[in-house]
Each structure stands twice: as C-alpha cells, then as structure tokens.
Structure 1
Amino acid sequence: MERACLSLGSNLAPEANLRSAIAALRACFGQVRVSTVYRTRAVGFDGADFLNAAAVVETDLEPEALDAWLHSIEDAHGRDRSAPRFGDRTLDIDLVLHGDRIVEGPGHLRVPRDELRHAFVLRPLAEIAPDVVEPRSGRTLARLWAESPERDVAMEAVRGFDVG
C-alpha cells in the first residue's frame, strides 16, 4: 500500500460535487483524510470561485490505474473534457503524489503534479500530510508551504462544510 495525495476542486455546484467525490473516495478506499475546504479564486481564467480540498488515501493501485479511476469519478460528475483547460468544472481530482514515485506519462499523467506549486493544492495537502516528502525536492509538504511564494494568496476556509 502506498499513500496517494489528491487535490479536489469544483466551481460548478461545488458543495454537492465535493461531497459526492469524497463519498466515492471513501467507498473505494475506506479511510480518507480530508483537509479543510477552501474557497479560492479561479486561476488562469475569469470564472466563479472554486472550492478546493485535499485528500490522502492508502492504495495498492498503480498511478496509471488510480488516475484512470479518478477520471471516471470526474466523468460521473459531468466533467466536460472538451472544454478549455482553464475553465469552469464540475469536478477536478488530481493525483498529486503517489508514494515517493516520479511518473512522466503516459499522456497527461505527471507525478508529482506541477500544480503542487499553487496554494490551492499545497496548503490543503500540507495541512493533512505535513511530513510527506515531495520526491523531486526532498522537502516535506510543510516546508514547501512555509517557503511558498503563494502563502499570501487569499484562501477562505469554508465554515460548516462537513467532510465527514
């Protein structure tokens, strides 16, 4: 079993889509650690605010199989893959880290994800997995967050969002 760190986001019916995604993760993996849910501005386009969170699961799935499963969850939530890369979305679940692996391909799969540099990915992950080491830098998520140039990015914790 390996620890997989995931980033979740939605700006179309975000409360319902995040709750449903977390329920799907729990149905598959059992125990799931989930971060605080944060409201953040859209990055790379003008759009509605996103709700973002992170989750950590233990899995025996290989990165490619886990990534494909995550895509199936996105698809079940109405993800439109023909839409622009930077645009509104019902659900985005990214495999950010998978143990100490570095994966380059096939296709779009990259682990660690480049998006780890963004506050909306790094802050929630550092909150629930501070001692996890990012394999390229050799630094913990807590240290990466402490050194992040995005530490001052506005991220409002969503009060009352029950992740169970």
Structure 2
Amino acid sequence: MAKIFISLGSNIEPERYLKAALTDLDYYFETLELSSVFESEAVGFEGTNFLNMVVAAQTELPIADVVNRFKQIEQSHGRVKGAKKFAPRTLDLDLLLYDDTVSTQPIELPRAEILYNAFVLWPLAEIAPSLTHPVVKQSYQTLWDSYDKSQQSLWPVEFSWSK
C-alpha cells in the first residue's frame, strides 16, 4: 500500500465540492486523514477565495491510475476538461506525494507547489509534520516554520464532513 497526499481546492461552491470530493475519495481510497480547511485568496488570477485542504490516503493503485481517478472525480463534479489553469473551479485535486517517489512521469512528484504555496504546505505540515520532503530533505513542519508567511494570506475555517 502506498501512502498518498492529495491537495483539494475549490472556489465555486467550495464547501459543497470539497465534501463531494471527500465522499468520492473515501469510496476509492483507504484510511483518509484530513487536514483543517483553509481559506485563501486566488493565486495567479482575480477570483473569489478558495477553500483548500490536504488529505492523506492509502492505495494500491499505481500513480497514473491515481491521477486518472482524480480527473474522473473532478469532471464528475463539473470541472471542465482542458479549462484554463488559472481560473475559478469547482474542484481541483492534485497528487502531492506518493510515498517517497521522486519522478517527472507520469507527473512530477513531489509536486512543486508544496514548497511555494502556503495553502498546500500548511495543511500538509498539519497532518504530516515529521514526514520529510524526499528532495529537500526537511520535514514539512520545518518547511512551514521557515516559510515566508507574508507571501500568501490564508486562515483556517470551520468545516465538517462525515462519511
């Protein structure tokens, strides 16, 4: 079983779509662990605020199949295939980590955003503080502690989801 970490984000009916994504992830993957949910301003475009979180899960699927499953989940909840990267979205699921895999194919792992987006690093540090980034060889808590928090504004928000 591989341990995976998934970034979830939405700025169109975000609470609705995060809950829908969690329900789907719980169906397809095992042993979900959820970070807090954080609200942040849109990055890379003008838009409404996002809700973001990180989820850890277990899977026997290979990386390419995990990514394909995420795309299916996104599309089943209104994400338009081939839509502009920096634009509002119902749901964005990104594979951040697949065990300690370092790769460029079928996707880049670990995902680069871990190191420069607060809305990814803070929730990742929350649920896996002592886990070490396989490239920079620092724990996610150390990376978050040293992150320049003036770069992006985000804050925890109330959120509840039940299976």
Matches within 5 A, 1:21-60: 21-60=21-60
TM-score (norm. length: structure 1):
0.93
- Which sits farther off after the overlay, 26-35 or 39-48? 26-35
Asked if 1:136 corresponds to 2:135, the answer is: yes
AA matched with 2:143:
L
1:35 to 1:85, Cα distance in 2 relative to 1, 3 A: same
2:86 aligns with 86
1:20 aligns with 20
AA matched with 2:29:
F
Work out whether residues 2 and 98 of structure 1, in 8 Å CA contact, stay in contact via their aligned partners in 2. yes
Shift in Å, 1:152: 6.2
**What secondary structure sits across from 1:31 in the alignment?**
strand
C-alpha separation between the residues in 2 aligned to 1:156 and 1:150?
Answer: 11
**What secondary structure sits across from 2:31 in the alignment?**
coil
- Which sits farther off after the overlay, 87-96 or 143-152? 143-152
1:120 aligns with 119
**What secondary structure sits across from 1:97 in the alignment?**
strand
Shift in Å, 1:150: 3.4
Q: Structure 1, unaligned stretches of length 5 or more?
A: none
1:126-158 residue CA offsets vs partner (Å, 9 max, x unmatched) = 101112221111111111111112366321211
Work out whether residues 30 and 59 of structure 2, in 8 Å CA contact, stay in contact via their aligned partners in 1. no
Shift in Å, 1:163: 2.8
**What secondary structure sits across from 2:78 in the alignment?**
coil
1:57-77 residue CA offsets vs partner (Å, 9 max, x unmatched) = 011111111111111101111
1:73-110 residue CA offsets vs partner (Å, 9 max, x unmatched) = 0111111133211110010000001101012023xx21
C-alpha separation between the residues in 2 aligned to 1:151 and 1:130?
Answer: 21
TM-score (norm. length: structure 2):
0.93
C-alpha separation between the residues in 2 aligned to 1:111 and 1:35?
Answer: 20
Asked if 1:99 corresponds to 2:99, the answer is: yes
Q: Structure 2, unaligned stretches of length 5 or more?
A: none
C-alpha separation between the residues in 2 aligned to 1:26 and 1:12?
Answer: 22
C-alpha separation between the residues in 1 aligned to 2:36 and 2:136?
Answer: 25
